Structure formats: structure tokens, C-alpha cells
């Protein structure tokens, strides 16, 4: 009971802090100075039994939300992009992939209306929907933060770190309260192993393309509406992250991981089923650019063409680097 009370207090406090930080740089700076970034990172970094016992889904969601609220601050974004820190954010994002891709249908499913107020089945379904909603919010915020970090590449600290290493001095550490970074010269913004895990996780966040019976994904089924949809805020930032991981290359380990994880049909499906205005249009554009980058590899280009992906890209116009 005492543990539940502490968790509820943390959840309420985090909600108030996240709301207060919205479009308010003064509050964002004060939160950063008070160790808010360090607290959110520590919360999201817990794994296994510690995570289950001490971090309810809503607390995790609001901790990720706090990271997202602080990310517009250059000093916060710089701290999050540092070696050791970004790895913790990636680890939390990869962990989210173990929950499955479709958190959104469960989160938005209409709750049952029962005559009996103490219907245990209804209560269980309501709790499951709340958990899915919290997990979905955590994922959305983590992907948003990663998108901001990767957009900021090359990170602000890189030149200073390289200069320090050439002189044989330790790399500069973060000035953000409570946030420590590694000084290992082998560290990069994302290590190759983590890049591969992250790429696979990101692809799992995109809805799978529809299949045509026993034939699998076909030129017809790939354009059909997927069985579940992710919010444009998720799909758009997923594509932004994939673009930066690919780094202009259509081949190599990252591209192979994306393809092996089913990235081509998912990206084509996203492209075919997104549009309109705002985030959905941005997600569609970024999906097209991801496909165009993958198409620089002849084998990947043929896989895209086999699902009419190249035809779709050509129809978009000449503005994409196909």
C-alpha cells in the first residue's frame, strides 16, 4: 500500500511537471537545473524486477514525457546526445519493442459497459487499456526524443571530445545536474550494436503490411489499410530516426537489419496509407525518403520494385533522391 502511494505521488508530480514545462522555457530550465532530466533517465533505465516493482507504466510514460518536454532546450538535448546517456534512451526504446507493435488498438479500444460495477472482467479490461495507453505514450515520447537527438547530429560535444582526446585529456562531461557521461574514446553517439537493435525496434513500431492469404505481402495487399495504425507522431519520428541511422547509405549493416526486420513492406505500406496534412504527410514523405535511400542498393531496389514501391516513389515526383 505504501509503495502504491509513493508511485501515485510520483505520477501526479510528474504529470504536473510535464504540463508546467509545456512551452515554458523558464520552467524547463528550472526543471533541468533541479535534476529533472537525471530523474527521468534513472526511472527509465531500471530493468527487470526493479522496473516491475518500482516503475508503474504511467510513471514511465510521464518520465519519457518529461524528457520530451526538456528536449527543446539546447543544453538538455546536448546532454541527452552524449555517450552513455543516449544509450540509456535507446535501451528504453528497445525495451518498448518487447511489448509488441500494436499498443494503440488496445489503448483506444472502447471500454465495456457493464451493469455490475464490480465486474472483474470489465475492470481487468479497463486496466489493460490503461496500461497499453501508458506504454504507447512512453514509446511515442521516447521516439520523439530520439528523433530530436538524431536530428541534432553531429552532436555539439563531438568536436570538443575529439580535441580533448587528441590532447590526451578526458572528454568534457555534462554540466546537467545528475547526468553523468562516459569518457571512453571508443564511444560514439550510438554504438553499432545498439544501432542494429534500435533499427529493429523502430521497424517493429511501424504497422505490418497486409498479407494476401498464403501469398504473403503482394503488390495489391501492401496498399491496403494495415490491421492497426500507429500515430503519425510515432511513424514520422521512426522514419526520421531510420534516415539518420542509414546516413545516406542503402547498404551496410543498418540497411540489412532494416530489410531483414521487414522494413521494406512496412515502409511501403506506411507510404501508401499516409497522407493528408500535418504529421501524416510528414510521415509519408519520410517513409518515401527511407525507401529511396534503401533503393541505392540494387538488391533492395529490386525488393522495393517487386511491391510496386519504385512505381509509387516515381509518382511522388522528382523531388526525392531515388
Please write the tens of the pLDDT for every residue from 232-262. Answer: 989 999 999 999 998 767 778 999 999 999 9
Tell me, what's the pLDDT at 58?
93
Q: Do 128 and 204 belong together in one domain?
A: no
Q: Do 143 and 13 belong together in one domain?
A: yes
Structural domain including 149 reads 1-187
Q: What is the DSSP string of 131-146?
A: HHHHHHHHHHHHHHHH
Overall domain count for the chain: 2
Per mean pLDDT, which range of 34-43, 182-191, 243-252 is the poorest?
Answer: 182-191
Q: Do 169 and 215 belong together in one domain?
A: no
Helix or strand holding residue 104 (H, E): helix 104-108
124 has pLDDT over 70: no
Indicate the pTM of the whole model: 0.82
Q: Do 34 and 95 belong together in one domain?
A: yes
Spacing of C-alpha 259 from chain mean position: 18
Please write the tens of the pLDDT for every residue from 210-237. Answer: 999 888 999 999 999 999 999 998 999 9
Q: Is the peptide bond before 154 cis (omega within 30 degrees of 0)?
A: yes
Buried b / exposed e over 165-184, threshold 16 CB at 10 Å, is: eeeeeebeebebeebebebe
Work out the end-to-end distance of the chain between its first and last CA atoms, rounded to an integer number of angstroms: 58
Average pLDDT, the chain: 82
Please write the tens of the pLDDT for every residue from 277-312. Answer: 667 888 899 999 999 999 999 999 999 999 999 998
Q: Do 157 and 223 belong together in one domain?
A: no
Tell me, what's the pLDDT at 181?
52
Sign, CA dihedral 124-130-134-136, equals positive
Out of 163, 187, 211, pick the residue that ends a domain.
187
Mean pLDDT of all residues in 138-164: 69
Confidence at 179, pLDDT banded by 50, 70, 90: low
Residues 77, 151 contacting (CB under 8 angstroms): no
Residues 198, 94 contacting (CB under 8 angstroms): yes
Q: Which residue has the higher pLDDT, 215 or 173?
A: 215
CA distance 24 to 83: 28
Per mean pLDDT, which range of 14-28, 30-44, 235-249, 251-265 is the poorest?
Answer: 235-249
Q: Which residue has the higher pLDDT, 170 or 221?
A: 221
Please write the tens of the pLDDT for every residue from 53-91. Answer: 889 999 999 999 999 999 999 999 999 998 889 999 999
Amino acid at each position: 500500500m505504501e509503495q502504491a502511494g509513493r508511485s501515485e505521488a510520483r505520477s501526479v508530480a510528474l504529470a504536473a511537471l510535464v504540463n508546467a514545462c509545456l512551452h515554458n522555457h523558464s520552467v524547463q530550465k528550472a526543471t533541468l537545473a533541479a535534476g529533472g532530466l537525471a530523474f527521468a533517465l534513472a526511472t527509465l533505465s531500471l530493468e527487470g524486477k526493479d522496473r516491475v516493482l518500482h516503475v508503474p507504466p504511467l510513471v514511465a510514460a510521464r518520465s519519457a514525457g518529461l524528457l520530451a518536454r526538456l528536449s527543446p532546450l539546447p543544453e538538455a538535448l546536448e546532454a541527452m546526445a552524449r555517450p552513455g546517456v543516449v544509450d540509456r534512451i535507446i535501451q528504453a526504446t528497445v525495451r518498448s519493442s518487447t511489448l509488441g507493435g500494436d499498443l494503440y488498438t488496445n489503448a483506444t479500444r472502447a471500454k465495456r459497459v457493464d451493469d455490475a460495477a464490480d465486474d472483474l472482467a470489465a475492470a481487468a479490461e479497463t486496466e489493460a487499456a490503461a496500461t497499453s495507453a501508458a506504454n504507447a505514450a512512453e514509446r511515442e515520447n521516447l521516439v520523439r526524443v530520439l528523433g530530436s537527438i538524431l536530428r541534432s547530429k553531429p552532436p555539439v560535444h563531438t568536436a570538443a571530445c575529439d580535441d580533448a582526446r587528441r590532447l590526451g585529456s578526458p572528454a568534457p562531461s555534462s554540466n546537467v545536474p545528475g547526468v553523468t557521461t562516459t569518457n571512453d574514446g571508443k564511444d560514439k553517439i550510438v554504438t553499432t550494436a545498439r544501432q542494429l537493435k534500435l533499427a529493429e525496434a523502430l521497424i517493429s513500431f511501424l504497422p505490418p503490411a497486409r498479407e494476401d492469404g498464403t501469398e504473403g505481402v503482394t503488390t495489391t495487399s501492401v496498399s491496403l489499410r494495415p490491421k492497426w495504425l500507429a500515430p503519425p507522431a510515432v511513424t514520422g519520428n521512426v522514419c526520421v530516426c531510420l534516415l539518420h541511422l542509414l546516413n545516406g547509405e542503402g547498404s551496410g549493416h543498418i540497411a540489412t537489419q532494416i530489410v531483414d526486420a521487414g522494413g521494406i513492406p512496412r515502409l511501403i505500406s506506411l507510404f501508401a496509407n499516409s497522407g493528408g496534412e500535418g504529421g501524416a504527410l510528414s510521415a509519408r514523405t519520410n517513409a518515401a525518403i527511407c525507401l529511396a535511400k534503401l533503393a541505392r542498393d540494387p538488391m533492395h531496389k529490386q525488393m522495393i520494385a517487386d511491391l510496386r514501391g519504385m512505381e509509387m516513389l516515381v509518382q511522388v515526383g522528382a523531388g526525392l533522391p531515388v
